[in-house]
Amino acid sequence: MGNKAKNKILLAKVETTYGTDPTPDGNNNAILISNVTISPMEGETKDRDLVNGRLGNELVLHVGTHVKLEFDVEVAGSGEAETITASEKVEYAPISEGEKSVTLYFYLDGALHKVIGARGSMDIKIKPNEIPRFHFVFTGLWVDPAAVTNPTGVFTAFQAPLPVSNSNTTFTIGGASATLYEFECKQENAVRYLHRVGRESVEITDRAPKASVTIDAPPLGAKNWFTDALAITQARCNSSMARLPGILSNWISRRRNP
């Protein structure tokens, strides 16, 4: 194990019951990812602080062991047959209760790391001459790794992305077109691992989304962003990509700092 670093595959499936493995498979649940990292034994160690008449360390105890997995997914169309009316969009509204959970199977060169009851947060970054990507960070419950054979993943539903460019991408902020250098949005879910007697889970306890944007400064006579910032004017950021129906990202910022 560990000789072939690219011999990795990720499967993911939404759980019907929290913490119950729905058994994802390579034919239906493979996720095309990049830049993946796993922290297979997150948690704490507790010193025993023994008094035994000699100097030196003692064995520590592991507590609250859980798993963290993060990875990128390219921003591209779903590949599904869709009919989208011009100027319409698809919106995904955040929720404050009843968050779903997912089971992740991460295969790493013959070792299977299962991550059950996983919840997390997501970022998106758009930058010219780069591939647009979603970045996911999941925290989930610990399962003993197992020696297995990697499955074959089916990725036919994943489409090749288009790079961010003048011909492929549009961007507006506050209804005004802008020359974009970089746009980043962070969902900033507060993801908390809980381990109590009678309960072990990963919960989303809060969120505080934030966004940053770098654009060319227009003439003040055309648009005065300083006035909007001082007035704490809400601004909607819209970005769309060729081959992607509707709006790629649609975020509201309650305050802008020029």
Number of H helices and E strands in the chain, helices first, is 1, 16
Which uninterrupted H or E stretch holds 230?
helix 225-230
- pLDDT score, position 246: 42
Cα of 124 vs its chain's centroid, Å:
8
**CA dist., res. 132 & res. 52, Å (int):** 58
- Higher-confidence residue of 167 and 107: namely 107
Task: Read off the pLDDT of residues 130-161 as tens digits, 9 standing for 90 and up.
Answer: 999 999 999 999 999 999 999 999 999 888 88
List the chain domain ranges.
8-45+63-77+100-150+161-253
Q: Are 84 and 246 in contact (CB under 8 A)?
A: yes
Task: Read off the pLDDT of residues 180-224 as tens digits, 9 standing for 90 and up.
Answer: 899 898 999 999 999 999 999 999 999 998 888 888 888 888 888
Q: Are 103 and 29 in contact (CB under 8 A)?
A: no
Q: Could you say which DSSP state residue 109 is in?
A: T
Task: Read off the pLDDT of residues 19-62 as tens digits, 9 standing for 90 and up.
Answer: 999 999 999 999 999 999 999 999 999 998 888 888 888 888 99
The pTM for the full model equals: 0.84
Amino acid, single-letter form, for residue 17: T
Is residue 239's pLDDT more than 90? no
Strands 180-186 and 111-126: antiparallel
Please state, for a pLDDT cut of 90, what percent of the chain lies above it. 49
